[in-house]
Amino acid sequence: MDSKDLKYIFKKNMAQEKNQYPQKLITSTLGLHTNFLKNSIINYKTTLPKGKKRRVIHVLRKDKSEIAIITEVAYPTNAQIGKWLVNDKFKTEKHLQNFNISTPNSQIYDNKDLSLAKIETFKKSNQNVVIKPLISTQSKGVILNVSEDTFEQSWKQSLLEGNVSKGKMLVQNYIEGFEARATIIHGQLVSIMLRIPPYIIGDGKNSVQKLIENKNIAREKCGYMKKLPIKLNNTIINFLNSQNISVNYVPSQGEYVLLSSISNVSAGGAELMNITNLVSKNIKELPLKALATIPGLYTGGVDIMMKSFEDVNPIILEINSFPGLSNATYPTYGAGTNPSKIYYESLVTIDQYTNKTKNKYNFKDELDYLSDYLSYIQLKQEMLKKNYRSLISIL
């Protein structure tokens, strides 16, 4: 993302009032799950397995028999084979390409092959690239817009931030545009949340540093953003320097200044915008198709890169089999959703439909849950049938 993308996004978004959330806020996925279940009609219990530090949730039928066990790192309706595939970014990328789904083009290297990676990367092109660990979470170790001059420094930074001591590294083409996370639950597109990297808007009076301080003070009023302030660190300073901007620069009135190209919320300073109803039908359908190509995955987070809300060729960056739900719950702009409600009610609805349960729970949206789930299964069958030989070779 760059400053012109920021201007485009805020011009297109009509709801520019920031949401404010209570100071005491539940943000962990299991916390959100438990908070919903406490106020629902669904029977459940929590236990602490022997030798474990985190409790698990047992979802129960009306007769108290068990439907599923939910842990901190897995949804039981997702199969292990799908989780294994998406955990490897390189395999996922090649797999999606076999289904004619656009992705970055990556090369894989051992973490010690810095010199080889640099030579091969810039042998045929001087275009900037992205460096990241093959296996990572929360965008740790992802370094964007890397030039030939900054390649070695960025490689070492990626190793350090991604905590890569033995694993592989990916080098891929740098894609312009902005990134969003599509959350899909049992085949239902719950939301598409745009992740906006840290930025400030000039007032013609204050320096970049002062504007960051003022914005962090404003974030203190919101229970969600308070926990994730903008951190004026070397990453931001180096990013500003790459644009010939210092922390003492005074932006003009209304001038957008991007502070980082990393849009991961946990890194601090980012904002979230619900763009589900702003994007085209094509962009809404793409994450469903991408997830449908992964065997055994019915719930996931799909990261999309687009150049506009009507982009005819959006790019799938990666797929996560256990998406955090707080982003979909607490957007900075636009309406939030209740993914925990959707997950548990659809989980129970599907179980009751599959087992033809007589003494069942009744939910207002159960027909929608079933319709989305069955449509997704049909889509999954169609996608996998088209390219089952490729699937076998990847697996």
Give the three-state DSSP class for 273: strand
* CATH class of segment(s) 105-174: alpha beta
Q: Is the dihedral of CA 271, 276, 277, 280 positive or negative?
A: positive
For residue 380, name the pLDDT band (cuts at 50, 70, 90).
very high
pLDDT band of residue 299 (cuts 50, 70, 90) is: very high
Question: Quick check: 275 pLDDT over 80?
Answer: yes
Mean pLDDT of 290-303: 95
Query: Is the pLDDT reported for residue 137 higher than 90?
Result: no
319 beta partners: 302
pLDDT the model gives residue 160: 83
pLDDT in tens, 10-67: 888 866 788 999 998 998 899 999 999 999 999 999 999 988 888 999 999 999 999 9
Report domain extents, the chain.
26-103+176-197+270-395, 105-174, 201-268
* Mean of the per-residue pLDDT values of the chain: 91
Confidence at residue 138, expressed as pLDDT on a 0 to 100 scale: 63
Asked which of 57-66, 130-139, 141-150 is least confident by mean pLDDT, the reply is 130-139
What mean pLDDT is predicted for residues 352-375? 96
Highest mean pLDDT among 123-127, 189-193, 262-266, 320-324: 189-193
pLDDT at 388: 76
Distance CA 14, CA 168 (A): 43
Q: pLDDT higher for 127 or 124?
A: 127
Q: What pLDDT, on a 0 to 100 scale, did the predictor assign at position 163?
A: 75
What's the full length of the chain, in residues?
Answer: 395
Asked if pLDDT for residue 9 goes beyond 90, the answer is: yes
d(CA 78, CA 359): 26
The token pair that represents 217 in the structure block: 């003070």
The answer to whether the beta carbons of residues 160 and 234 sit under 8 Å apart is no
What's the topology of domain 26-103+176-197+270-395?
Answer: D-amino Acid Aminotransferase; Chain A, domain 1 (3.30.470)
Amino acid 15: pLDDT: 62
254 touches 201 (CB < 8 A): yes
How far apart are alpha carbons 123 and 133 in whole angstroms? 22
pLDDT in tens, 72-95: 778 999 999 999 999 888 899 999
Enter the tokens of residue 71.
Answer: 């842990």
Distance CA 376, CA 374 (A): 5
C-alpha neighbours within 13 Å on the C-beta side of residue 334: 23
Reported as a pLDDT band with limits 50, 70 and 90, residue 391 is: confident
For the beta carbon of residue 53, count every other beta carbon within 10 angstroms: 7
The pLDDT value given to residue 157: 84
Query: How many C-alpha atoms does 153 have within 13 Å on its Cβ side?
Result: 10
Q: Give yes or no for a contact between 196 and 173, defined as CB atoms under 8 angstroms apart.
A: no
